[in-house]
Amino acid sequence: MYQEVHNTSFPFEHCWNVLRHQPKWFETYQKKIPKRSRNPTSSPSTPELVNLEEDEISRDAHIQLERPIGKKKEKERLKKLKSQDTTISPLVDLLIDMKEDRKKGTEKKLEMLEKSYIIHVEKASLEKLKEERIMMMDTSGMSPMQQEYYYQRQIEIIESRRKSNISE
């Protein structure tokens, strides 16, 4: 075929010997093989026809091979896969984001609870210190009104402690 087009022998015959059995070249070669005509002018002893017969034997042995995927078909297949992934991917990303947000929210709640507990403990210890200061207060140098205030407060502290001891 090359010789017919270029009027010279094919310079890469060693490449052809390797590639001619590949499905891609096999299909191309099969399309270009002229069908044998019953024309008596064509002689069967031409080298081209002998090569064709040899190739026909090897062609029959390689019929089961599938042709490799071409670049265009591979790109289309990847494009389809990518489009399918993009329809699923936003949903997966959204679920992952929601899960992370929930986890962050839970962590913030725990952190706030710990802080409120610490604040509660500190308030209780400050209240205890305040009560102790009131109970230990020396009222002898105070006015009668101040003395009355501290006396009332001391009674309230004692009663609250009695209630807490009874409830325990």
pLDDT tens digits, the chain, 168 residues: what are they?
Answer: 778 888 888 888 888 888 777 877 767 667 766 655 555 454 444 444 445 445 544 545 545 566 778 888 888 888 888 777 656 667 778 888 899 999 999 999 999 999 999 999 999 999 999 999 989 988 889 999 999 999 999 999 999 889 888 876
> Cα 149 vs. chain centroid, distance in angstroms?
70
| Distance separating alpha carbons of residues 101 and 106, to the nearest angstrom | 9
Cα dihedral 114, 119, 122, 127 sign: negative
Q: Check residue 42 and report its DSSP letter.
A: S
Q: Is the pTM of this model over 0.75?
A: no
**Rg of the chain, C-alpha, whole Å:** 49
Residue 128, token pair as written in the block: 């205890």
Q: Whose structure tokens read 């015959």?
A: 13
3-state SS of 85-104 is HHHHHHHHHHHHHHHHHHHH
Amino acid at 127: E
| Distance separating alpha carbons of residues 60 and 151, to the nearest angstrom | 117
The H or E element that residue 70 is part of is none
> Structural domain boundaries of the chain?
2-61, 70-124, 137-168
Asked if 67 and 23 count as a contact pair (C-beta separation under 8 A), the reply is: yes
The confidence score (pLDDT) of residue 85 equals: 62
Asked if 146 and 168 count as a contact pair (C-beta separation under 8 A), the reply is: no
